[in-house]
Every structure is written in structure tokens, then in C-alpha cells.
A = this chain, B = another copy of it.
Amino acid sequence: MARERKVTREKLYETTKTLLLQHGYNGFNFTLLAKQLNISRAALYKHFKNKEELVTDFMIFEMNKFLAAIRKIENYTNFDAQFDYLFATMFQHKEIHEILGMTYLIYSKSNKKVKANIEKLKNLHEDMYRYLQKFIKLGKKENRVAPHISDEALLGFIFQSFSIPNHFHIPPSEWYAQIKELVSHGMLTNMS
């Protein structure tokens, strides 16, 4: 019964991601997105009540993709294998950290759906956190991870490292190896 969409939801979310990263949360708006997609602004309102709803829907979409990948960490039994897998996965999903960092800018009172979405995001975040905490716990148990450092610092440290800007455009595989080395053993030689 329905007419075909001019723009698929995937394409819409992809463009949303690009514009959010390019202009920041408050620089992003319906006018900009509609222009970029060559549709009218009013068309967007057929699918989302407002910007907050669109962005939180988008975030849930991204977070689900990310979590689906993270969950596969359970296919690996020892810490070293988990570390390799996790690092590669998070490198592929680099942008999600910056995207999720925008959550605090969302005006959540705007509507019921937005409130519910933010709640859902919180849950997904906690879900993710549980997997990662389990990973850290295993590392500490196997004596592979520095035991006296808090889980929060360790996880924040990993996440943050993917946001290091590669201004000089070092080739991805090389960049990847360097970041992994830094996260693993730090910047100082072991003669310290």
C-alpha cells in the first residue's frame, strides 16, 4: 500500500552520521539533512517528530550494530584473542565513540519517544559496558592487565585511543599497529 521511499533508512542514517561528525550535534539540523538528501524538510517530519528523535533513533541503530559485533567477543576464550578481536572491532567502529559523546547535548524533555530512546541507549550502553568489563576482568584474572588500574580508566583509555586524530594521514594499517602498541605497552620503553 505504500509508495517507495526516495531515500532508504540506511542512506538517511549514513548521511546523518556524516553531518553529525562534520557539524557537531548543534550544527546538525533538518534543513541541512533534507538538502543533503535532496528531499523536502517536511518529508523528514513524516518519519521523525523532531531532530532529537531522529538522532536518538540513529544512535540506537549504530549502537545495535556495534553491540552485535562486540558480542562476538565471546567466541574467543582467552584474553589475548579477545583483545585482538576487540581492538580490531573498535577500530572499525571508530566514530561511535564521538557520536555517543553527543548524547549529553540532547534536550531529552522534547517528547516521550526521545525520553524512551535515551533510556534504551542507556541500557545498550550498560550492555556494552558489561561485555567490556567482563573482558577486563578476564585480563586481570589471566594477569595480562595491570591489576591496580580501575576498570573505568582502562575502558576509557581504550575508547579514547581510537579518537586520536590521524592528521598526517598515516596509512590505516600502520596507524592501527601504532595505536595498538601504545594502548598495549604505553609510550615509554620497559627500561623504566
A interface residues (Cβ-Cβ under 8 A, vs B): 23-27, 83, 105, 139, 143-146, 149-150, 152-154, 156-161, 163-168, 170, 175, 178-179, 181-192
Contact = CB atoms under 8 A, between A and B. Distances in A.
Given A152-B168, A164-B153, A179-B153, A185 B146 contact: yes
A82 to B, nearest CB: 12
Contacts of A181: 146, 149
B161 A175 contact: no
Contact of A188 (B105, B145, B159, B164): B145
Contact of A27 (B105, B139, B152): B105
A173 B157 CA distance: 17
A143 B191 contact: yes
Given A189-B146, A192-B184, A24 B23 contact: no
A140 to B, nearest CB: 10
Contact of A160 (B146, B161, B167): B161
A181 B178 CA distance: 18
B187 A157 contact: yes
Contacts of A179: 153, 157
Given A23-B26, A163-B160, A149 B182 contact: yes
B187 A190 contact: no
Which residue, of A146, A159, A186, A187, has the highest number of chain B Cβ atoms within 10 A? A187
Contact of A186 (B159, B167, B184): B184
Contacts of A178: 149-150, 153
14 contacts: A24-B26, A24-B105, A25-B26, A146-B181, A153-B170, A153-B175, A153-B178, A154-B187, A156-B166, A157-B187, A159-B164, A184-B187, A185-B186, A190-B190
Contact of A184 (B23, B184, B188): B188
A67 B132 CA distance: 37
